[in-house]
Chain A
Amino acid sequence: MDIDNKSIKPYGDTLNDGSMQLSFTLPLPKGAHSTEVARRFVAQMGMNEVEVVLSNDIGEGFTFFVVYAKTSQTIDSTQVHVQEIVSKKWSREVCNEKIDEYFHRKVTVVGACIGEDAHTVGIDAIMNMKGYNGHYGLERYKGFKAINLGAQVTPEILLKKAVELNADAILVSQIVTQRDIHIQNLTEFVELADTSGIRKNTILIAGGPRIDNGLALELGYDAGFGRGSFADDVASYIIQELHRRLTGA
């Protein structure tokens, strides 16, 4: 197949057919009129061969549409760059060995889910003994001292604890994202951390289902982990980043 990375289109049935499926609701009653509105609306988005394959009355004068269409847009994928975390992923055993080898001491990590956010399962998955989905948490690692403050922790308390314990890394979890509350909370924490002078020796990590490394960097963190990340990912990164800072590599 002759894929031109400078001109990428969605693939449905054949290369570059541009096929996409959409579903959405319009505040219009079901009928020929709203179906035509939906069709034109999708056409306005740069779509061709727009087919409204479903229009259902979903009550109170709203209609739900499923639409298939072919986009006229292409994207030059060679111009898109993402900032991935560069560390190599190690197993728990390797992590423990590397900690011994590099630091001759335990690595201290303090974590919490901050703000009003009460979701603990994510940060527990990374930090607690039990871990998640067959990946043990940091507590289980010989080389780590992991202190999980739980949820609904204020930025001040998290920072205070981190300073007190001379933490090597701070893990900040944010699950609730409505009205960008996670951005606000994460920013608040970074600003606080910046004024405290811990940044040089402490790695700041953000995590949660709507977080990725790019967003975390943008907000001023050293790294970000999203859905499907586990303790081993985080441990490997922390060790390699600490080592890098130590050796100035």
Chain B
Amino acid sequence: MSGLNLSKDKITELRILADDITSQISPLIKSHTTVTVERSVLRLMGLDGVDNDDVPLPNVLVNHLSGELKNGVALKTASAMLHYRLSINELAEKISNKEIDITGDLKTSTSEALDFLNEIVEQQLETILQVRSDRESMISSLGEGSMPWQYVIVATGNIHEDVIQARAAALKGADIIAVIRTTGQSLLDYIPYGITTEGFGGTYATQANFKLMRSALDEVSKECGRYIRLVNYASGLCMPEIVVMGAFERLDMMLNDSMYGILFRDINPVRTFIDQYFSRMINAVSGMIINTGEDNYLTTADAIEGAHTVLASDLINESFAKAAGLKPWQMGLGHAFEINPDIQDGFLMELSQALMLREIFPLSPLKYMPPTKFMSGDIFKGYIMNALFNLVGVWSNQGIQLLGMLTEAMHTPFLHDRYLALENSKYVMNNARHIGESFTVNPDGPVALRARNVIDETLEFLRTVKDEGLLESITDGKFADISRTVEGGKGLSGVIKKSDHYLNPFAKVMADNLKISEEASKWI
């Protein structure tokens, strides 16, 4: 239909290769847990807050139980709650105050504790499903923007200021608001607490900030007559915990990439693979859309030479996502408009890549990132580059259009930069709304040839990754020219081998809820 004439067989082979590659990692994921997975289990059980030294209670409890993480913290915690007749928060506070110690044997019988734990799990899952259905009913009563959804970021560092800017953007046509995280948060092995007014290049992701922004957006959604989605970043050392907070506070999307942390944040590969799996299960259950970070490949690599790595990463992300129960409509697979603007026919190559991805992932709301690397102080040229980007977006029917800012090279967006970005996109997309249905690509022309070429390169690439092994390929620098080793990177000390008695009660009920119990047994 698009005229690209992509080979169905090759696309099938791509997917098989990706599944083969990701399943190499499943034994590793299945046999390990991490400190943040355990902290998210506690958060899912209802634990929240900080102690007198501002240490988050989930960290307090996981540190206290550090010797028993191999069994999972859930059952021990439930027994202690029963034994001491305390709520989970009270329990953690008393542990922090050294009033009690739960590392020894407790009187509660295992079956009693299990029953109690199951009750908690049922109830908490119910809460998350309720949040999900709240979202669904708001969308059905208010309606939502048409795709490509207009996605803008706020990043003042002060959540109150962010709220003002987010509201203004929504009133001027934004469908999605992302609150960019402050520099360095992804390397914290805990989640800061409370409302925050100071950040650097972004605002802390905290549960209180999530709540504040969500309620402001609910209000403005009503004013606009359109549900406005909220996004945050589940990357770094606390991936699944951020998703838990989002599940409770009705975030609608999460940046959640299976390899971003490894490659671009130097987080240990094993840690990342384990964390991404559980975080994606929670995303899946709570009805959130994930966004993947393929654009990052093109900030360090050349966008023409690196096109196939974007497709390869999308396929790997898709395969991991599927395994964790995400449906295609929940997969905001990423790519970006990052070809050097001086290159002849660069626009055609961008169009080619976008149409190709659209055809390969027909049911997924692709997340399209704007030009960033080649944005300069020439804001006038930058504004045109963004217009071409918007044209490709509407032409190839992208799902999530991350609007480019004319001042990208200077600063995080000013209020009017965001406004101008929305105006740019509104103009282009309205003016060319049905362009996709109006033209078919010449199957022998440069756009189609380029797309078929990228597919061939991706096939070759994934075949070598499969033969060599995913972890080995990462070590070898096959992805983004960056080499990471299994023993290297941050967060490895937070990876724990599971015992035979290990229990993560949420993983099981979530798999049931998602109807993936059989597949999931390979992963958890």
| Complex Cα–Cα for A227 and B172 (A) | 34
Number of B residues, CB within 8 Å of A:
24
Residues in B whose Cβ lies below 8 Å from that of A64: 415-416, 419-420
Asked whether any CB of chain B lies closer than 8 Å to the CB of A120, the reply is: yes
Residues in B whose Cβ lies below 8 Å from that of A200: none
Q: Is the CB of B415 within 8 A of A62?
A: yes
Name the distance in Å between A225's Cβ and chain B's nearest Cβ. Answer: 16
| Complex Cα–Cα for A108 and B384 (A) | 42
Residue of B nearest to A120 (CB): B300
Q: Which of A5-13, A42-50, A71-79, A176-184 contacts B (4 or more CB under 8 A)?
A: A176-184
Given contacts A24-B416, A178-B201, 12 further A-B contacts (CB under 8 A): A58-B172, A58-B416, A59-B169, A60-B167, A62-B415, A64-B415, A116-B184, A118-B183, A176-B183, A178-B412, A179-B200, A181-B200
Between-chain CB contacts (< 8 Å), 27 pairs: A23-B416, A25-B414, A25-B415, A56-B419, A58-B172, A58-B416, A58-B419, A59-B167, A59-B168, A59-B169, A59-B172, A60-B167, A62-B416, A64-B415, A116-B183, A116-B184, A116-B200, A120-B300, A121-B299, A121-B300, A121-B373, A124-B300, A176-B183, A178-B200, A179-B200, A227-B376, A227-B377
Residue of B nearest to A151 (CB): B266
Chain B contacts with A in 270-286, Cβ cutoff 8 A: none
Asked whether any CB of chain A lies closer than 8 Å to the CB of B411, the reply is: yes
Asked whether any CB of chain B lies closer than 8 Å to the CB of A209, the reply is: yes
Residue of B nearest to A59 (CB): B168
| Complex Cα–Cα for A223 and B510 (A) | 59
| Complex Cα–Cα for A30 and B424 (A) | 20
Residue of A nearest to B183 (CB): A116
Q: Is the CB of A59 within 8 A of B300?
A: no
Q: Is the CB of A60 within 8 A of B171?
A: yes
Residues in A whose Cβ lies below 8 Å from that of B411: 178
Residues in B whose Cβ lies below 8 Å from that of A25: 414-416
| Complex Cα–Cα for A178 and B184 (A) | 14
The 10 A-B pairs of least Cβ separation, nearest first, read A59-B168, A59-B171, A58-B419, A60-B168, A64-B416, A25-B416, A59-B172, A116-B184, A60-B167, A25-B415
Residue of B nearest to A228 (CB): B376
Interface of A with B (CB < 8 Å)?
23-25, 56, 58-60, 62, 64, 116, 118, 120-121, 124, 176, 178-179, 181, 209, 227
Name the distance in Å between A78's Cβ and chain B's nearest Cβ. Answer: 27
Name the distance in Å between B61's Cβ and chain A's nearest Cβ. Answer: 29
A176/B172 contact (C-beta < 8 A), A58-B419, A64-B416 known: no
Interface of B with A (CB < 8 Å)?
164, 167-172, 183-184, 200-201, 299-300, 373, 376-377, 409, 411-412, 414-416, 419-420
| Complex Cα–Cα for A124 and B511 (A) | 44
Residue of B nearest to A133 (CB): B340
| Complex Cα–Cα for A124 and B480 (A) | 14
Residue of B nearest to A24 (CB): B416
Q: Is the CB of A58 within 8 A of B415?
A: yes
Residue of B nearest to A23 (CB): B416
Name the distance in Å between A128's Cβ and chain B's nearest Cβ. Answer: 10
Residues in A whose Cβ lies below 8 Å from that of B183: 116, 118, 176
Residue of B nearest to A63 (CB): B416
Residues in B whose Cβ lies below 8 Å from that of A116: 183-184, 200
Residues in B whose Cβ lies below 8 Å from that of A60: 164, 167-168, 171
| Complex Cα–Cα for A176 and B412 (A) | 11
Residues in B whose Cβ lies below 8 Å from that of A59: 167-172, 419
| Complex Cα–Cα for A130 and B55 (A) | 45
| Complex Cα–Cα for A64 and B415 (A) | 9
Residue of A nearest to B411 (CB): A178
| Complex Cα–Cα for A181 and B199 (A) | 13
Name the distance in Å between A37's Cβ and chain B's nearest Cβ. Answer: 16
**Residue picked from B164, B184, B416, B420, most chain A C-beta under 10 Å:** B416
| Complex Cα–Cα for A58 and B420 (A) | 9
Residues in B whose Cβ lies below 8 Å from that of A58: 168, 172, 415-416, 419
| Complex Cα–Cα for A24 and B417 (A) | 10
| Complex Cα–Cα for A178 and B156 (A) | 11
Residues in B whose Cβ lies below 8 Å from that of A62: 168, 415-416
Residues in A whose Cβ lies below 8 Å from that of B201: 176, 178
Name the distance in Å between A132's Cβ and chain B's nearest Cβ. Answer: 10
Residues in A whose Cβ lies below 8 Å from that of B171: 59-60
Residues in A whose Cβ lies below 8 Å from that of B376: 227
